[in-house]
Amino acid sequence: ETGVTQTPRHLVMGMTNKKSLKCEQHLGHNAMYWYKQSAKKPLELMFVYNFKEQTENNSVPSRFSPECPNSSHLFLHLHTLQPEDSALYLCASSQGQRGSESYNEQFFGPGTRLTVL
């Protein structure tokens, strides 16, 4: 596997289910991101992890719970979701941020298409 991979690619779940999305990067990066992509809306940044530390939580509801056990893996745990949470969830990674002025290109995974019934 190369680049950024995400599993599963498609997920259908009921509002009372608990599920997890997985992201893995094979690029040696130290920063990872979760984005939500809904139809006709801009991509929304959800969470950022930099060297395994969460540095950004963009006012995401608590029914979304991220976990970053190491620099290569990022999870998004889902519980009691709502139908409006149905979207494409994209993971990305980049070199870790050591300073606020630096730019590091983000590489995206293919996404998980989530449908909440």
DSSP for 71-87, written as a single string: TTEEEEEEES--GGG-E
Among 65, 80, 86, 106, binds other proteins (CB under 8 A): 106
d(CA 97, CA 13) in angstroms, rounded, equals 35
Among 40, 69, 83, 84, binds other proteins (CB under 8 A): 40
CB of residue 82 vs other proteins: minimum separation in angstroms? 22
Q: Is 60 in the site for other proteins (CB under 8 A)?
A: no
How many residues sit in the footprint of other proteins (CB under 8 A)?
28
Please answer whether residues 40 and 21 qualify as being in contact, where contact means their C-beta atoms are separated by less than 8 angstroms. Answer: no
CB of residue 100 vs other proteins: minimum separation in angstroms? 6
Among 1, 10, 28, 42, binds other proteins (CB under 8 A): 42
Q: From residue 108, how far is each of 4, 41, 80, 117 by CA, in Å?
A: 6, 18, 27, 27
